[in-house]
Chains A and B, each alone.
Chain A
Amino acid sequence: MANEGAPAHLINSSTGDWEMVIGMEVHAQVTSKAKLFSGASTEFGAEPNAQVSLVDAAMPGMLPVINQECVAQAVRTGLGLNAKINLVSVFDRKNYFYPDLPQGYQISQFTQPIVGEGEVALDMDDGKEIRVGIERLHLEQDAGKSLHDQDPKSSYVDLNRSGVALMEIVSKPDIRSSAQAQAYVSKLRSILRYLGTCDGNMEEGSLRADVNVSVRRPGEDLGTRCEIKNVNSIRFIGQAIEYEARRQIEIIEDGGEIEQETRLFDPKTGETRSMRTKEEAHDYRYFPDPDLLPLEFTQAYVDDLAAHLPELPDQKKARFMKDWNLQHYDAEVLVAEKERADYFEQMVGLGAEPAAAVNWVLNQHLGRINKEGIAFEDAPVSAKANTAILKMTAEGTISGKIAKDLYDLVWETGGNPEKLVEERGLKQVTDTGEIEKVVDEVVAANPKQVEQVKAKPQTLGWFVGQVMQKTGGKANPQMVNQLLREKLDVAES
C-alpha cells in the first residue's frame, strides 16, 4: 500500500485511536467545445434546452458519435496521472430511470475503462510526501439538471448538461485524513488545469467529488463505508469528512453498526445526512452499448499525445527549485496554480531576480489578491508592472517602502510604474547634499534626542524615521543612516 510507513493520522477518542480510510471518485468535466456524443455546445449558463441536440434529448432513432477531443483529453489526463492507458476500452450502458437522464441509460465505461492504474504525489504541510493510487479513469456522459424550486408540484428539466463529457477519476482508498483528501483534490485539480483537460471550476460543477469514508482501529480490516455525494468545494470536502468520521466513530462506540449508504453534505450545517434510501437496490444492468464500437487507438497515438503534454506541477516545481534555487515550500505554493507559476516565470523572463520575484508574488501580490478576494488572473497589476517595480527597487531608483506604495498605486490606477515614479516624484533621493540638509534640520530640532542617542545608540532609528518621513520615504535609507552616524557621532553597531 502506498502509505505504508507514513504516520497514521489518528483520531483519539476515549476508547482509543481510530483511523479514517478515504477513497474519492472525482467527476471532472472534460474541456471540449462539443459534447461527448453530440455536436451541441458544452458552454455553461445557456437558456434552458438551448444546448441540446436530438441525440442529447434521446429522440427516437438518435445515435451517439464520439468526440475525438474528449478521447484525447482522457488520454492526456491518464498520462498526467502516470497511469496505464488502455488501447482498447468499451462503452457500456448504465440503465436507470431519472427525468434528467433522457436515454434511460448513461453511456459510461464499466469493465474496460480508457485509463487504468496510476498515482498522484501529494506534498503535505508537514513536509512529508504521500502517494495516492489511482484505480481508474473512465469517460461518461453527464446528466441533465432538474430544478425543484420553480413549482410546488413539478420539477423542471433542462438537458443542457446532458451528454457533456465527464472523466470519473477513482482513487484507491489510500487517503487517511481530511487534509490529505483536500490535498488530493487540490493536486488533481491542479494537474487537470495544467493539462487543460478540465477547467477545475468547482462552483460551476466542473469538478465535484464523491467521498467514501470509513473508520477502523489502526491495523484492522476496512470498516463499512459511506459515500458522500457531490461535494463541490475543497473546504466542504474537509468538513464533510471530519463530520462523517466522527459520526461513524460515535455509532460504533455506542455499539451500533455503520450502514453502507449514500449521504449528502449540507454546507449550512456542516453535517452529512442520509439520502432518502431508494426503495430498491440499484441494478444498473450494464452491458456494452451496441450503438458504439469498442474504442481503439494505437500506442503511437498515445505517444504523440504524451510528446505534446505540457509541463505538470511536479515537473515545474522541480525545475523552479533547480534553476532558480527556490525553497521547496515557495515552489510548491507557486506551482499550485498554473496562472501563478506562469506569472512568476513571466517576471523572471522579463528580468526580475527570482528570489525577489517569488517573495514579491507570494507576499505582496498574492496578499493583495487574497485581501480583495478576487481571482489571480483578475488582478490589475501585470507581471510586467511588477517586474518594473522590482527592477527599480533593485537599482535603488525607489526604496522598498515606495515599492509597496507604488504597487498599490498601479493596482488602483492601472498606470505604468516607471511613469508613475516620474510623475509623482517617487524616486529615491541619493543626492547627499539634499539628504544632509534634512538630517541637519532634524538634528537641530531635537536636542533632547541628540543627548539621548549618545548614551543609547540604538535610538538612532528614531532619527532615521524622522528623516524618511520628511523626505516622503524617498531618501536612500543607507545614506540617511550613514549621515546620521557621522553627525551624531554614533559608531557602526
Chain B
Amino acid sequence: MKIDDATVRHIARLARIKVSDAEAKTLENELTGILGWVEQLSEVDTDGVEPMTCVTDMQIHMRKDEVTDGGYPEEIVKNAPESTDNFFVVPKVVE
C-alpha cells in the first residue's frame, strides 16, 4: 500500500496535526514502509476467527448510581492554558 501525499495530508487533518511539506514527504515514505510491513498479516487465515475484544476473561464492573464526584471547578480548569470564571476559553467556534 503506497501512502501518497494526499493521504498523508488527509489523515494528518483527521488527527489534527499540522505537517510541513518536508514532514509530509518523510511520512509518506515511513508510513508506506510500516503499512507495507504490517501487510504480512494477510498471510494469516482468520476466517471464522472472532476479533479480540478483551484480553482477559472478565465481566464488566458497574458503579452504583451515586453522586460521588465533582464540585471542584477550580481544580478542573487549574491546568488550562486559558480560562475565565471556571470556563475553559478557546478560539471562537463558529457553528
User: Do A's and B's CB atoms come within 8 Å in the complex?
Assistant: yes
Contact A99 B88 (CB under 8 A): yes
B20 at the interface (CB under 8 A from A): no
Q: Are A34 and B94 in contact (CB under 8 A)?
A: no
User: Known contacts A49-B77, A50-B71; is A65 also within 8 Å of B63 by CB?
Assistant: yes
Known contacts A57-B76, A293-B53, A293-B60; is-contact A156 B69 (Cβ 8 Å): no
Set A51, A53, A68, A151: member contacting B64, Cβ < 8 A: A68
Residues on the B chain within 8 Å of A477, using CB: none
A285 contacts across to B, CB distance below 8 A: 14
A47 to B76, CA, bound (A): 13
Question: How many angstroms from the CA of A110 to the CA of B14 in the assembled complex?
Answer: 20
Task: Indicate if the CB atoms of B65 and A296 lie closer than 8 Å.
Answer: no
In the complex formed, the residue of B with least CB distance to A98 is B93
Q: Which of A275-283, A320-328, A370-378, A391-399 contacts B (4 or more CB under 8 A)?
A: A275-283
Q: Which of A51-95 contact B (CB under 8 A)?
A: 51-57, 65-71, 90
Chain A CB within 8 A of B59 CB: yes
- The answer on a CB contact under 8 Å between B93 and A148 is yes
In this assembly, does A244 line the interface, its C-beta being within 8 Å of a C-beta of chain B? no
- B95 at the A interface (CB under 8 A): yes
Q: Tell me whether A38 and B69 are in contact in the complex, defined as CB-CB below 8 angstroms, given that A68-B64, A294-B54 are known contacts.
A: yes
A109 to chain B, nearest CB (A): 13
Are A34 and B91 neighbours in the complex by a CB distance under 8 Å? no
Interface residues of B, dominant DSSP: loop
A157 touches B13 (CB 8 A): no
How many Å lie between the Cα of A54 and that of B14 in the bound state? Answer: 26
Selected contact of A156 from candidates B10, B14, B89, CB within 8 Å = B89
Which residues from chain B contact A68 at a C-beta distance below 8 Å? 62-65
Give the contact-size bracket for chain A: 35 or more
> Contact between A293 and B70 (Cβ–Cβ < 8 Å)?
no
Query: Which chain B residues border A146 with CB–CB below 8 Å?
Result: 90, 93
CB distance from B93 to the nearest CB of A (A): 4
B 37-80 binary contact with A (CB < 8 Å = 1; else 0)? 00000000000000001100011111111111111010011000
Q: Hey, which chain B residues are within 8 Å of A49, CB to CB?
A: 73, 76-77, 86-88
Min distance, Cβ B94 to any Cβ of chain A, angstroms: 7
Interface contact B86-A294, CB-CB below 8 Å:
no
Does A147 sit at the interface, judged by CB under 8 A?
Answer: yes
A288 in contact with B69 given A146-B93, A280-B13, A294-B60 (CB within 8 Å): no
Contact (Cβ within 8 A) B91 A153: yes
Partner of B84, one of A53, A54, A98, A156: A156
Residues of B contacting A97 in the complex (Cβ-Cβ under 8 angstroms): 16
| Residues A51 and B16 in contact, CB atoms below 8 Å apart | no
How many residues of B sit at the interface, in one of the four size bands?
35 or more
Question: Most chain-B CB neighbours within 10 Å: which of A32, A38, A155, A295?
Answer: A155
CA distance A70 to B5 in the complex (A): 45
> A485 at the A/B interface (Cβ < 8 Å)?
no
CB distance from A422 to the nearest CB of B (A): 49
The answer to whether B63 touches A34, judged by C-beta atoms less than 8 angstroms apart, is yes
Contacting residues of chain A (124-170) with chain B, CB-CB under 8 angstroms: 146-148, 150-159
Least CB distance from A267 to B in Å reads: 16
Does A48 sit at the interface, judged by CB under 8 A? yes
Residue of A nearest to B90 (CB): A99
Choose from A53, A69, A148, A157 the contact partner of B69 (Cβ within 8 Å). Answer: A53
- CB-nearest residue of chain A relative to B88? A157
Please provide the chain A residues from 15 to 67 with a CB less than 8 Å away from any CB of chain B in the complex: 32-34, 38-41, 47-57, 65-67
Compute how far the CA of A71 lies from the CA of B62 in the bound complex, rounded to whole angstroms: 9
Contacts of B77 in A (CB 8 A): 49
Looking across the interface, which residue of chain B has its beta carbon closest to that of A31? B65
Identify which of A39, A156, A280 contacts B88 (C-beta below 8 A). Answer: A156
Q: How far is the CA of A49 from the CA of B89 in the complex (A)?
A: 12
When chains A and B are docked, how far (Å) is the Cα of A153 from the Cα of B91?
A: 6
How far is A378 from B24 in the complex, measured between Cα atoms in Å? 64
Kindly identify which residue among B54, B71, B89, B94 contacts A154, using a CB–CB cutoff of 8 Å.
Answer: B89
In the complex, what distance in Å separates the CA atom of A158 from the CA atom of B82? 13
Question: A96 to nearest B CB, angstroms?
Answer: 9
Contact B95 A275 (CB under 8 A): yes
A292 within 8 A of B: yes
**Is B23 an interface residue, CB under 8 A from the partner?**
no
Interface set of A (CB-CB < 8 Å, partner B):
32-34, 38-41, 47-57, 65-71, 90, 97-99, 146-148, 150-159, 275-276, 280, 283, 285, 288, 292-296
Which residues of B line the A interface, CB within 8 A? 10, 13-14, 16, 53-54, 58-71, 73, 76-77, 82, 84-95
Q: List 28 A-B contacts (CB under 8 A).
A: A32-B65, A38-B69, A40-B69, A47-B86, A48-B87, A49-B77, A52-B70, A54-B69, A54-B76, A66-B60, A67-B64, A67-B65, A69-B64, A99-B90, A148-B94, A148-B95, A150-B87, A152-B92, A153-B92, A154-B92, A156-B89, A157-B88, A158-B88, A280-B14, A283-B14, A288-B53, A292-B60, A296-B60
4 A-B pairs closest in CB distance: A69-B65, A39-B68, A40-B70, A39-B69
Known: A34-B66, A151-B92, A155-B91. 14 other contacts (CB 8 A): A34-B63, A39-B69, A40-B69, A49-B73, A50-B73, A53-B70, A67-B65, A90-B53, A154-B82, A156-B89, A157-B89, A293-B53, A294-B53, A296-B60
